[in-house]
Amino acid sequence: MDLIIVESPHKAKTISKYLGRQYTVMASGGHIRDLPEHRMGIDVEHNFKPEYVITESKKNIIESMRKAIGKADKVYLASDPDREGEAISWHISQVFKLADNDIRIEFNEISKKAVLAALQHPRKINLNLVNAQQARRVLDRLVGYEVSPILSRKIKSGLSAGRVQSVALKMVVDREREIRNFVPEEYWNISAILFKYDVPAMLKCDFNDIDGKKVKVGNKELADSIVNGSKAGKWYADSVKRDTSVSRPHPPFTTSTMQQDAASKLNMTPVQVMQIAQQLYEGIDIPGMGHTALVTYIRTDSTRVSAEAQNEALAYIRGTYGDDYAPAKPNVYKAKSSAQDAHEAIRPISLSMTPESLKDKLQKNTYRLYKLIYDRFVASQMAPALYDTLTVHIISESDKNYGYVLKGKTLKFKGWQAAYMPAGENNDKDAKTLPNIKDGEDFTLKEMKAEQKFTTPPARFTDATLVKGMEDNGIGRPSTYAATISVISKRNYIEKDGKFIKPTELGETVCDMLVKYFPNIMDVKFTSDMELNLDRIEGGGVQWEKIISDFYPDFKKRCAMARFDGEKMRLKPEESDEVCPNCGSKLVVREGRYGKFLACPNYPHCKFTKPYEGYVTTCPVCGRGVSRKVSKKGNVFYSCSGYPQCDFISWDLPAPVRCPKCGGFMKQAGKGEKHRYVCLNKQCGYTESVPLPEEGADGEDK
């Protein structure tokens, strides 16, 4: 009997369905060994050799694996097809001393065809991939373990830093300060409402130029001059241009674009998106179908699609929408220069599994995300949308020629938009009949409008735009975007204002200290270049130890300078909503020997204090903070701070997200690596390992 080892039980269950009794499939639960939890575990004196130890929580699994390996005729390692998956396989091979005789198999989708094909083409473990993961792990450990204690000494205890998360924090802080320092500039919008005898609707055109030269209207005096001159003029069409514009479909999803669109269209956080997408990739129990995977691998920056999938899509498009909706040849999308392109884009495994056929068999959010992925893929393979466009340059001729522009477009052919509309786009506003206008035709002025406006600052980041910003700047990889945002949120470096992200005072203070002492680590280009170095390691172009040894000397020197400099950065006490009963001042949050407490800011004149009931997690209903409270009988319970608008309450420490399987509430259980989310619905039984991040770690989102 042959043994196949994968990471997760869900993946094992799906694969088992496709294989006969010749194979046993078991799960390792991710990494079976890692760097030690309570010491750095990097030998900087001996070429940065990492010390790997067996993960405490995996000892029972390892014993089960040892027995299964001993009985197996052949062992295959089938962890995910990326750096982290390759490293998981390598660690297993090292622990069990497996001879690397073509034991590694990989597949981009968990389907019967893909799994059987992979078994026909096993390969050796790719040590370049392993070394790229190892380099990232060592870098993150060095930064986390060296910088976090410095933060704790200079600001307050318990703080931590990470190589990637700190740069993401700086992006948020820089944007907030750009908003604060923004100086609005005045400008004026001038428009005219015109009438044409054979056009039933009024025509609105916008001021553009004077005597053919584009003019920016920056004050009331100029605006009044333009309005008065235009009112006195003769209005006519100076030029009329009709054309057809082409709107090409968007590429199929990458990890980043999936997170962005799901945030904008489905109101999901990146962490929620990845949790549900992982289920879709590994397999879900579907009535009548068993444990079934629905989408291809979800951690990818590639927009490439296999020829087989393209042909299936073209057949589906012709059958569903008609021949006109299928392009003459399959759509091919240009890859970004930074894309690894090792995998396909995210797509459905089979278009025969339509969202509508599964709607009643999937949980609501699982269905919504699957439909988003499905529709986006189908649309990406369809013909362009076509618009009829009209651009008219209109002149009011008086003392000067005041130029106005009338623009319009109407949808001529839906094309790909019949299947999918990206967030923020809407055809309804374009669905209007274009007026019949010819060169030289006259108009009658009905009304002039001049509106004073002021430029606005850039918007704060949302989950979607922060993910896009990280991708555009080369910060992290597809597997780390969600985890990075989650970590800086959990550490109270950022907070949400509605859907917008802003830094906390603590986050700004941490950012300033890191910029002062570690400018390289906080530099976007430096971080982006480091990602390119990891790609070079993966490609075999450089040894991983060389990248670390080039980085470490300057980093070590800056750590020493930061420790030597005795300057500390004091935080303003956090103000609470509670009022001191003695003097009426707002109580502030302070930290003492036994943790946080509320105190009067007028100490020592007023010495009032009381226990602090801070937020311990996020409400799974509304996203506000959840407080730990004690009932009159001494029982601990948890309630939403948004009461009475939100009446969520729980006797268990709630998980910040709902169960992806049944949609119910979950509780948090266990500590450290044993930390997990457990569904409160006993009939559901869903549980998910969510290890608490180590101090300073930026690890992969696995």
User: Which residues are known catalytic residues?
Assistant: 297
Strands 23-27, 49-50: pairing is unpaired
Region of residue 247 (left: phi > 0; alpha: psi -120 to 50; beta: else): beta
Q: Which amino acid is at 432?
A: K
Contacts of 525 (CB under 8 A, 6+ apart): none
Inter-residue contact 487 to 693 (CB < 8 Å): yes
d(CA 253, CA 422): 11
What values do phi and psi take at 174, rounded to 5? -60, -40
Q: Which amino acid is at 660?
A: P
Q: Which two tokens stand for residue 119?
A: 């078994």
CA dihedral 27, 28, 29, 33 (to 10 degrees): 180
Mind giving me the DSSP string for 548-599? HHHHHHHHHHHHHHHHH-----PPPPEEEEEE-TTT-PEEEEEEETTEEEEE
Tell me if the bond preceding 149 is cis, omega within 30° of 0.
no
Strands 213-214, 203-210: pairing is antiparallel
Q: Which two tokens stand for residue 139?
A: 């870098």
Helix and strand totals (H; E) in the chain: 17, 29
Strands 74-77, 2-6: pairing is parallel
d(CA 262, CA 547): 36
- Strand extents, DSSP E, 35-141: 42-43, 49-50, 53-54, 74-77
Residue 679: strand pairing partners: 666
CA dihedral 131, 132, 135, 140 (to 10 degrees): -140
Residue owning tokens 């025969």: 352
Inter-residue contact 533 to 542 (CB < 8 Å): yes
Residue owning tokens 């930390």: 675
